[in-house]
Amino acid sequence: MDLTSISLTLTGLLIVFLGGAVWIGISLFLIGAGGFLIFTDLPFGTIMANIAWNNTSGSAMMALPFFVWMGEILFRSRISSNLFSGLAPWMDAIPGRLLHVNILACTFFAAVSGSSAATTATVGKITVPELNKRGYNRMLAMGSLAGSGTLGFMIPPSMMMLVYGIIGDVSIGKLFIAGFIPGFMIAGLFSGYVFLVCLVNPRLAPRGEDRYTWNQRLRAIPQILPVAVLILVVLGSIYAGWATPTEAGAVGVAGSIVFALATRSFSRQALRESLFGGIKTSSMIMLIVMGAAYLSVVVGYLGITRKLTTAVTEMGLSPYMLIVILSLLYILLGCLIDGFSMIVMTTPIVLPMVEIAGFDPVWFGIYLVLMIELAQITPPVGFNLFVISGLNNDDILHIAKAALPFFSLMCAVVIIITVWPRLVLYLPGLMRGQ
Amino acid sequence: MKAVIRVVNAFSGLGGWLAVIMICLALGLALSEILSRSLFNKTLYITEEYSGYLMCTLTFSSLAYTLRERGHIRMVFVLRALSARARHFLNLACHTVGFVFGIGFTVFCFLFFWDSVVSGSQSMQVSETFLAIPQAFMPLGALMLTLQFLGEVFKDILVIRGDTAGLTLTEEADDLGR
């Protein structure tokens, strides 16, 4: 059988398994095993066990449960609601007012949590009722939350970057630091957009009865401090080269527990729930990682990656054209599958192509995370849409429509970082200890 | 069938607790390494190696628990478009596929572990740990996953029969860390 037929057979089987609601990790394992059995004479079982061991026994992987656990602790403690109280007085005088809190709180929370859905849920559970109560424009409130929630993946620590770093063998520390500028750029663009539309139409964000003095604003700062300190310690230690991402994750967990206890919002039950939530998410990701690693071995062994890379090279596409095609492909994929699956299924095939086209693997990681952020707010599988729908019972398509301007702004950031890749690569270049 | 489901659920719950112990041990180890390095300028030497073993143990121990709690992701749009009865049958088919996969996974993980036992493989690090010790959790975790799939198959059969008294039916999780 020729390589094209083999590729089409494997892809067809994958679609059948995934569409048939078989778990993603198990589907990947089964297709990999099928590929080995049908098209090679290699011992597929021995390779399966070896891959499972090699992909779970690396110390870098331990960062994953740590960062997930840290986010779970913050989600369950009062630290997140204090963030709203600390930021709200500062935004009161700006057109857009509390809508900026949606964006800023997501930015802050994203810097201590690696998850987009956790960021959206944590910030949304506080801001959605407040904004509804104060008569803010519902579309703008939902859209800004949906868009800003995706920053959970871009601003480090990020579970997506961790998984990409491990699958693509790219420095996780560099990926984390590279996410800063694009992340803040997105937050800045979102805030700028909210500022402009509310300046033109102030009724979108009406001024409430609350009036804050400078004294109140200054007194609100301590409420933001726990998150700010965690950001500094966790990310500062990676940036300065004092700690590996795993150690930084451990410090983040310890710090979150200390702050949660200090705010008297961390019960034994919250500790138990955060632990089980952490292991559940980690286990879910690890099954996919193992399955994808197994499938990528058979894909590599059969020469599919090499053939695809050669074919794309022979097409003589310019690097920009390649990114345009990949972007369309990822946006389409994002409508159908979740972010983790997008990373693990495409990285082994696409990364060699983009490297040949002259793109840096760290840059590509950030680009890929941006594509996944877009997927978070595209129906029908946009998880942020589900989270917001759970918060205010709105229709998924209605929320997706509200998020459309923010989707467009993120597309603009994709263009900006493609034209000026240095925006992504500048900070990693300054890192020590890498 | 219900007795089997209860035993399997309890077994997976134990796996969850085992994973919790592992993550706490890993946290303790990483913090000890940081303290030892910062305060005494010394390293524990085994932190990286043992973090890896703990991660492997954590992953395998929690696979069955995560399945029990509907934590593993799958594409559910086809499933949701079906009628309730068709959905139960598709779930039964999926759990059967999972069970068959689990049997193979357990066998291969066991052979991998047993190979380490027979050859007496040791790590190349300073600790010279017998690799069979952390690897023992691979067939154990895979077996727990297989049994949980079997429990889910039994659960689906009972649901199709309409005999759900005393069963806890968990919904698919929508927002797991994504």
Q: What is the ipTM of this complex?
A: 0.93
Question: Which amino acid is residue B110, in one-letter code?
Answer: F
A392-416: average pLDDT: 90
Asked if A407 contacts A378 with a C-beta cutoff of 8 angstroms, the reply is yes
Closest CA relative to residue B61, chosen from B176, B117, B138, B150:
B138
- Where residue B136 falls (left for φ over 0; alpha for ψ -120 to 50; beta otherwise) is alpha
The reply to whether residue A279 touches residue B101, judged by beta carbons under 8 angstroms, is no
The model's pLDDT over A95-119, given as tens digits with 9 standing for 90+, comes to: 988 899 889 989 988 887 777 877 8
Under 8 Å CB-to-CB from B17, ≥6 apart: which residues?
Answer: none
A285 near B CB under 8 A = yes
The reply to whether residue A18 touches residue B74, judged by beta carbons under 8 angstroms, is yes
The more confidently predicted of residues A300 and B95 is B95
Task: Give yes or no for residue B178 having a pLDDT over 60.
Answer: no
A28 near B CB under 8 A = no
Under 8 Å CB-to-CB from A106, ≥6 apart: which residues?
Answer: A119, A120, A123, A145, A148, A149, A151, A152, A187
Asked if A300 contacts A348 with a C-beta cutoff of 8 angstroms, the reply is yes
The reply to whether residue B108 touches residue A278, judged by beta carbons under 8 angstroms, is no
Task: Give yes or no for residue B174 having a pLDDT over 60.
Answer: no
Residue B56 distance to chain A (closest CA, Å):
5
Closest CA relative to residue A155, chosen from A125, A177, A188, A122:
A177
Q: How confident is the model at residue B148 (pLDDT cuts 50, 70, 90)?
A: very high
Average pLDDT, chain A: 87
Taking the C-alpha atoms of residue A430 and residue A240, their distance in angstroms, rounded to an integer, is 10
The model's pLDDT over B38-74, given as tens digits with 9 standing for 90+, comes to: 888 888 889 989 999 999 999 999 999 999 998 888 8
Dihedral sign computed on CA atoms, order A201, A205, A210, A212 = negative
A31 near B CB under 8 A = no
Q: Which residues of chain A lie closer than 8 angstroms to B81, CB-CB?
A: none
**Which chain A residue has its CA at the smallest distance from B28's CA?**
A250
Asked if A56 contacts A31 with a C-beta cutoff of 8 angstroms, the reply is no
B148-174: average pLDDT: 82
Taking the C-alpha atoms of residue A36 and residue A122, their distance in angstroms, rounded to an integer, is 44
CB–CB contacts below 8 A, A to B: 199
The model's pLDDT over A36-81, given as tens digits with 9 standing for 90+, comes to: 998 888 899 999 999 999 989 988 889 889 988 988 888 888 887 7
Taking the C-alpha atoms of residue A216 and residue A261, their distance in angstroms, rounded to an integer, is 25
Q: What pLDDT is stored for residue B177 in this prediction?
A: 45
Q: Which residues of chain A lie closer than 8 angstroms to B94, CB-CB?
A: 20-23
**Which chain B residue has its CA at the smallest distance from A117's CA?**
B178
**Which chain A residue has its CA at the smallest distance from B113's CA?**
A49
The model's pLDDT over A265-276, given as tens digits with 9 standing for 90+, comes to: 788 999 999 999
The reply to whether residue A59 touches residue B55, judged by beta carbons under 8 angstroms, is yes
- Which of A53-62, A355-364, B26-35, B94-103 is least confident? A53-62
Surface-to-core class of residue B130, CB atoms within 10 Å of its CB (0-12 exposed, 13-18 middle, 19+ buried): middle
Q: What pLDDT is stored for residue B176 in this prediction?
A: 45
- Where residue B123 falls (left for φ over 0; alpha for ψ -120 to 50; beta otherwise) is beta
Asked if A74 contacts A80 with a C-beta cutoff of 8 angstroms, the reply is yes
Q: What pLDDT is stored for residue B172 in this prediction?
A: 64
Closest CA relative to residue A61, chosen from A243, A236, A249:
A249
The reply to whether residue B98 touches residue A23, judged by beta carbons under 8 angstroms, is yes
Q: What is the per-residue DSSP string for A347-392?
A: HHHHHHHHHHTT--HHHHHHHHHHHHHHHHTSSSS-HHHHHHHHHH
Taking the C-alpha atoms of residue A248 and residue A70, their distance in angstroms, rounded to an integer, is 11
A237-261: average pLDDT: 87
The reply to whether residue B54 touches residue A62, judged by beta carbons under 8 angstroms, is yes
What letter would DSSP give residue B173?
P
SS3 A33: helix
Taking the C-alpha atoms of residue B102 and residue A403, their distance in angstroms, rounded to an integer, is 41
**Which chain B residue has its CA at the smallest distance from A23's CA?**
B74
Q: How confident is the model at residue B173 (pLDDT cuts 50, 70, 90)?
A: low
Task: Give yes or no for residue A2 having a pLDDT over 60.
Answer: yes
Nearest to A279 among B20, B77, B98 (CB): B20
| Phi, psi (deg, nearest 5) at residue B44 | -85, -10
pTM score, two decimals? 0.85
- Look-up: residue for tokens 């029969």? B161
Q: Which residues of chain B lie closer than 8 angstroms to A386, CB-CB?
A: 174-175
- The number of CA neighbours under 13 Å toward the Cβ of A70 is 34
Average pLDDT, chain B: 90
The radius of gyration computed from the CA coordinates of chain A, to the nearest angstrom, equals 22
B149-167: average pLDDT: 88
Q: In A111-213, which residue ranges form alpha helices assigned H by DSSP?
A: 116-133, 138-149, 151-154, 159-168, 172-178, 180-200
Residue A94 distance to chain B (closest CA, Å):
32
- Look-up: residue for tokens 């978070």? A376
- Which of A132-146, A172-186, A249-263, A293-307 is least confident? A293-307
Q: Which two tokens stand for residue A180?
A: 């800063």
- Where residue A96 falls (left for φ over 0; alpha for ψ -120 to 50; beta otherwise) is left
**Which chain B residue has its CA at the smallest distance from A75's CA?**
B177
Asked if A256 contacts A122 with a C-beta cutoff of 8 angstroms, the reply is no
Nearest to B52 among A23, A59, A390 (CB): A59
